[in-house]
Amino acid sequence: MDLKSGYPFWAVKNGLMSVFPKLKSDVSCDVAVIGGGITGALIADELGNNGFDVVVVEQRDVAWGSSAASTALLQYEIDTHMVDLAKQYGEFHALLAYQACADAITDLRVLAEELGDVDFNMQESLYYASRRRDKAALREEFDLRVKHGFDAEWLEAADIKERFGFKAPGAILTRLAAVIDPYRMASKLLTRLVERGGNVFDRTSIETIEPAENSVTLRTPEGLQIHCKHVVIAAGYASQKWLKQSVAKNRSSYAFITDPIDKSALGLLASTMVWESARPYLYMRTTGDGRLLVGGDDDDIDIPARRDKRVDGKAKGLSKKVQKLFPELPLHPAFSWAGTFAETEDGLPFFGEHPEHGPRVQFAMAYGGNGISYSMIGAGLLRANIEGRPHPLASLFGFARVG
């Protein structure tokens, strides 16, 4: 799949960080992970650190697909409100999902500190009502979060104007959020995996997956084989090709990043990501060197050539929206891009086995706006599955909920 258009900032900034060999002979391992992006890297790291012999295969250079185009907002806030998840699955499960995402941010912080130099920074998150009619729903969402102990503050219009300098009917200010360079993190995780005895093969495609009672055999187009006890399919939006059942819809999202902006001009934007209640939503965050990264204006386009043609126009539209909120902000876009992402109907990911393949084939579909946080959760969930242990989110994040 052609997953990105334009000039994704992480790819431009970092260049090709890591190059691994192509698979040239048959290999055996405990777990094979198909996909060398941030999701596959987090899962492989979890398994490798807990005694499993892991092999990762990536059809491109590692982290060069959708991870390079990700805008990497780390939030416990799911695209679907906790209120709406509670109506669909019950308040207990809604809280479970939100709390897991909150815990994932702390876990990612620990992991980022271990790796070092992945542009990880803690942030606050301002979720504002785009329209007056959205305010009541946001207030209801705020009340449910506070009821369950999440650290958040309700801001009225006057508070938003005074502290952030723009007009909105109301907003939730969340204390727990973060940002990261996903390309650097994935590359460094996979490099560490190899240093600790694992194997990573890039520019290696898998053509067939053949599960048996006690093993799985993967075959490349050249006829090479990977023999493993379990396989995790973490191939991002290409994972759907291994399923007859359609579980998500591919869309395109657009982004641009500015030249560095002085902190005095950014104000609270330097430490606060901002996003809105409208769908699709406008969002913005900063990088460690003071650039403003702006994204949104998603559409249903899933044809790369059509997406390519829209990048410049979408970037100009996003820039106008930001300028309307912050007319004094010096916006000088440096790079713009687009990327494929997938949405599930309920905003939740899919982790675990699917009836089409059996228990030795695990899927890691970290779809939605919380992809990296979901991947951190999924790493532990899939390890539990492989080890034969229960996990509290196995049913909520499993395929049974759409069966």
At 47-96, the pLDDT tens digits run 999 999 999 999 999 988 888 888 999 999 999 999 999 999 999 999 99
Token reading at 366: 């970290």
For residue 70, give the 3-state DSSP assignment.
coil
Q: For all residues of the chain together, what is the average pLDDT?
A: 93
- Same domain as 377, residue 323: no
From 239, 224, 194, select the one nearest 39 (Cα to Cα).
239
Q: What is the pLDDT of residue 1?
A: 47
Q: Are strands 225-233 and 27-34 parallel, antiparallel or unpaired?
A: parallel
How many beta carbons lie within 10 A of that of residue 267, not counting itself? 15
Q: Is 337 found in the same domain as 267?
A: yes
Indicate the length of the chain as a whole number: 403
What whole-number distance in Å separates Cα of residue 369 and Cα of residue 78? 7
Whether 95 is covered by a domain: the verdict is: no
pTM for the predicted model, two decimal places:
0.95
pLDDT interval class at 403 (50, 70, 90): low
Amino acid at 101: C
Residue 78 lies in a domain: no
Query: pLDDT at residue 4 above 70?
Result: no
pLDDT digit string, tens, across residues 92-136 = 999 999 999 999 999 999 999 999 999 999 999 999 999 999 999
Residues 146 and 133 grouped into a single domain:
yes
Q: Is residue 64 part of a domain?
A: yes
Provide the CATH number for the domain around residue 286.
3.30.9.10
Same domain, 159 and 257: yes
Of 316, 342, 368, which residue is a domain's last? 342
Domain count, the chain: 2
DSSP state letter for 260: P
Question: CA 329 to CA 380: how far, in whole Å?
Answer: 41
Over residues 254-269, the mean pLDDT reads: 94
Looking at the fold, whether 289 and 312 belong to one and the same domain comes out as yes
Residues 208-232 have pLDDT tens digits of 999 999 999 999 999 999 999 999 9
Task: Return all residues near 320 (Cβ < 8 A) that are at least 6 apart.
Answer: none
pLDDT at 155: 98
User: 367 and 355: one domain?
Assistant: yes
Q: Is residue 117 part of a domain?
A: no
What does the pLDDT average to over 278-284? 90
Claim to verify: residue 166 and residue 191 sit in the same structural domain: no
| DSSP H or E segment with residue 99 | helix 91-115
Residues 137 and 277 in one domain: yes
**Residue 402, pLDDT score:** 78
Say whether both 272 and 237 belong to one domain: no
| Rounded average pLDDT over 341-365 | 93
In a domain? residue 98? no
What is the β-pairing status of strands 272-276 and 283-286?
A: antiparallel
Residue with tokens 């300098």: 165
Say what percent of the chain tops pLDDT 70.
98
Beta strand 225-233 with 361-365: parallel, antiparallel or unpaired? parallel
* pLDDT over threshold 50, residue 3: no
Q: Residue 28: which domain range?
A: 4-69+183-247+347-402
Domain of residue 379, CATH code: 3.50.50.60
Domain-located, residue 93: no
Domain assignment present for residue 116? The answer is no
Q: Is residue 114 part of a domain?
A: no
Output the pLDDT for position 18. Answer: 87
> Which alpha helices (DSSP H) does 277-400 contain, by range?
304-325, 371-387
